[in-house]
């Protein structure tokens, strides 16, 4: 099956710093999503981005499908950005198929 690898595994920042999280995948994908799991365990969908670039406030994401990676940018980080960031992909099939998740990047933002 497809391999989804995220880097770095852990990231520690001071409030106000910028960061880039990376998601590599081993096969062509039809769908890529980014999620944030907050320190209370809640999972929130950030982006649906099979290709191209999207921005939402201080967060933006870019997927280069031909080179099999996606990047999540966090600018001017805040303590509320702390948590685990996951990327997830769908390979082949229909949109009623399955999402495969990466192992996540643990982000800690200190005040």
Partner 1 sequence: NAGVTQTPKFQVLKTGQSMTLQCAQDMNHEYMSWYRQDPGMGLRLIHYSVGAGITDQGEVPNGYNVSRSTTEDFPLRLLSAAPSQTSVYFCASSLRGVDQPQHFGDGTRLSIL
Options 12-20, 36-44, 56-64, 69-77: segment touching partner 1 (CB under 8 A): 36-44
Rule CB under 8 A: choose which of 43, 51, 58, 110 binds partner 1: 43
Query: Binding residues for partner 1, how many (CB under 8 A)?
Result: 26
85 touching partner 1, by CB under 8 A? no
Query: Is the distance from CB of 11 to CB of 108 less than 8 angstroms?
Result: yes
CB of 46 to partner 1, least distance (A): 9
Rule CB under 8 A: choose which of 19, 33, 63, 70 binds partner 1: 33
**CA nearest neighbour of 36 among 58, 65, 3:** 58
CB of 16 to partner 1, least distance (A): 29
What is the rounded distance in angstroms from the CA atom of residue 73 to the CA atom of residue 59?
A: 6
What is the rounded distance in angstroms from the CA atom of residue 6 to the CA atom of residue 81?
A: 17
Please, which residue, 67 or 96, has the CB nearer to partner 1? 96
**Residue with structure tokens 């001071």?**
14
Q: Which DSSP symbol is given to 8? A: -
């Amino acid at each position: 099956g497809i391999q989804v690898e995220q880097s770095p595994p852990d990231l520690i920042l001071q409030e106000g710093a910028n960061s880039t999280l990376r998601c590599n995948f081993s096969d062509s994908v039809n769908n890529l999503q980014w999620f944030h799991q907050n320190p209370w365990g809640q999972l929130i969908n950030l982006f649906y981005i099979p290709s191209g670039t999207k921005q939402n406030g201080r967060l933006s994401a870019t997927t280069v499908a031909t080179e099999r990676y996606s990047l999540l940018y966090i600018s001017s980080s805040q303590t509320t950005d702390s948590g685990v960031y996951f990327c997830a992909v769908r390979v082949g099939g229909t949109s009623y198929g399955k999402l495969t998740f990466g192992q996540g990047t643990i982000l800690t933002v200190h005040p």
